[in-house]
Amino acid sequence: MTDVVFAYDVEDVYNPQSDDALLRICRIHAEEGVPASMFVAAEKARAMRERGRKDVLDALAEHEICYHGNYWGDFPEPATRYGVEMDFDDAVRFALAIEAPGLHDVAEICGQFPVAWCCHQAQQSLPQQYAMKLAGVRCWAGGPRGWIMNWLSWPRSNCVVSSQGSWNMEYDPLRPNEQKPPADPDEDLRQCQEQFERIASERDFVSFVGHPVCWVIREWGSLWEYATLFRYGSAGPYPRPRIDASARLRTDEDSEAAYQHLRNLLRWIRTRNDVNLTTYEALCRREEERGQRWIDWGQLVSLARRIVENLDAIEDFDTSFSPADVCGMLVFAVQYCYRHNRWPEQIPVQRLLGPTERPLEANEPIVIDRRSAFAGSMAAYSIMMDDRRLPGRLRASRVDVGPAGLLHIAAALVLGWEDNGELPEQVRIEPVQTLPGVVDTPTITERRFGSSNMPAGLNEERLWDLLRWQAWSYRP
């Protein structure tokens, strides 16, 4: 069964005709009985309210509301830029200052708190994503399929079928009156079906994505002026450069053909018995777990044995565990042993972030005595409780360790007791891999960062570093 979401980026504030397009699309989905997920930019919601478009907002409220950022055209600082230049926690606070007001504007104007979030134009960074989680958005529509940073996510850029049909025609300034030929709904549907079949044969999640404005315009129009707005990498002080020129419109005949294509597409997809037409709210209800999950001592021992053999996520016991989760449970058990003079019978599952600083690599064997191992576990547990993340580097009394070293040390104490009935006086850990195996798979490598709003020559390496480090928090 393939999960299918119809998602729309409700973002254009410069073309009032896009309001009418949104209204038509909302009504078509309602008439055909196919749910839609509307990714609304707060700037667009505010513009529709200013225009008095209660009819559009009422129609929008009949569908799932998701979040597409506070600003579409005029955001004060690109997330890629502050994700590179700021410390992780400072960048999270900055992102919250920008996005929390937008989230609540969308909730107030559209009548629903947004369920999911996706960024505009791959304009993203890990601090921004974590800020969205802290702000209460239930899932990320644009990440890997699974959990990362203890946040549900579904892919987007690599599993998208356009619902817009053959809308696009670049504007030729030497032929300003040239008209786009009317779309052919039958041909558009055929191409759409072919693309869907290809993606569905490889994946169990497909997102049909469209931009309502594209049902009425024939070009992106004012977006060409973004290079002026962001010529120094961020929007700059008010008044900002003018980027509100309306785009050139499709003909009425061409637009009607596009609406007919959408209706045909919805009718076709409803005939498929191998498709689950769904929303992000429904996906969250299906995939989210109850809180306060526990494992017992035997299960912890099983997890410890497997993760020292293969540093990666583990699926078992009716759930899955990220490497950060397993490390956190092992650390909990070791510090509990020291404080209570016995091993715990039940261990709480703590869903942790991976490190947000460069993890310390172990290029040489780590030799650590039992006292230092306990001291390091108690220090790590304190950090985990305060910051909800694994430390990237830790002073374990007289030994420096990274998260991989910490995990192996804690596992050695647990397994030493389980196998021999006593704690080892000294633990020796051979050099171990720094990052979990998932870091080299499409789960991580198929992400992308890129935007017309990025400063020229911006070094993206820190954006990738933060994502790679969160391989520690990934689980299926």
Residues whose CB is less than 8 angstroms from the CB of residue 342 and which lie 6 or more positions away in sequence, other chains included: none
**Nearest CA to 28 among 270, 206, 266?**
266
174 lies in a domain?
yes
Same domain, 161 and 237: yes
439 lies in a domain?
no
Contact 409, 368 (CB under 8 A): yes
Same domain, 251 and 302: no
Burial class (CB in 10 A: 0-12, 13-18, 19+), 201: exposed
Residue 252 identity: D
Q: What's the structural domain count of the chain?
A: 2
457 lies in a domain?
yes
Contact 224, 54 (CB under 8 A): no
Per-residue model confidence (pLDDT) at position 238: 47
Per-residue model confidence (pLDDT) at position 128: 94
Same domain, 207 and 223: yes
71 lies in a domain?
yes
Quote the CA–CA distance of 23 and 215 in Å, as a whole number: 11
Q: Could you tell me the pTM of the whole model? A: 0.93
**Nearest CA to 119 among 66, 48, 165?**
66
List of long-range contacts for 236-245, beta carbons under 8 Å, 24+ apart = 240/74, 243/14, 243/73, 243/74, 244/13, 244/14, 244/73, 245/14, 245/221
Contact 45, 418 (CB under 8 A): no
Question: Within the chain, which residues score under 70 in pLDDT?
Answer: 73-75, 221-223, 226, 235-245
Same domain, 66 and 137: yes
Same domain, 422 and 464: no
Per-residue model confidence (pLDDT) at position 356: 96
Same domain, 27 and 75: yes
For residue 239, whether the previous peptide bond is cis, meaning omega lies within 30 degrees of 0, is yes
153 lies in a domain?
yes
Same domain, 419 and 449: no
Quote the CA–CA distance of 98 and 125 in Å, as a whole number: 14
Q: What is the largest CA-CA distance in the chain?
A: 85
Residue 408 Cα to chain centre, angstroms: 30
Q: Which residues on neighbouring strands pair with residue 290, listed in sequence order?
A: none
Same domain, 378 and 414: yes
Quote the CA–CA distance of 277 and 4 in Å, as a whole number: 5
How confident is the prediction for the chain on average, in pLDDT?
Answer: 91
Per-residue model confidence (pLDDT) at position 237: 56
Same domain, 187 and 171: yes
Residue in the structure block whose two tokens are 């506070």: 70
Q: Which residues on neighbouring strands pair with residue 365, listed in sequence order?
A: none
Residue 127 identity: P
426 lies in a domain?
yes
184 lies in a domain?
yes
Same domain, 374 and 227: no
Same domain, 128 and 194: yes
Quote the CA–CA distance of 272 and 230 in Å, as a whole number: 45
Q: Write out the residue range of the structural domain in which residue 311 sits.
A: 294-434
Neighbours of 66 (CB within 10 A): 29
DSSP 51-86: TT-HHHHHHHTTSEEEE--S-SS--SS-HHHHHHHS
CATH number at residue 70: 3.20.20.370
Same domain, 193 and 223: yes
Per-residue model confidence (pLDDT) at position 245: 65
402 lies in a domain?
yes
DSSP 426-444: EEEE----SS-GGGGSHHH
Q: Which residues on neighbouring strands pair with residue 353, listed in sequence order?
A: 389
pLDDT tens per residue, range 215-259: 999 887 666 776 777 777 776 654 454 556 678 889 999 999 999
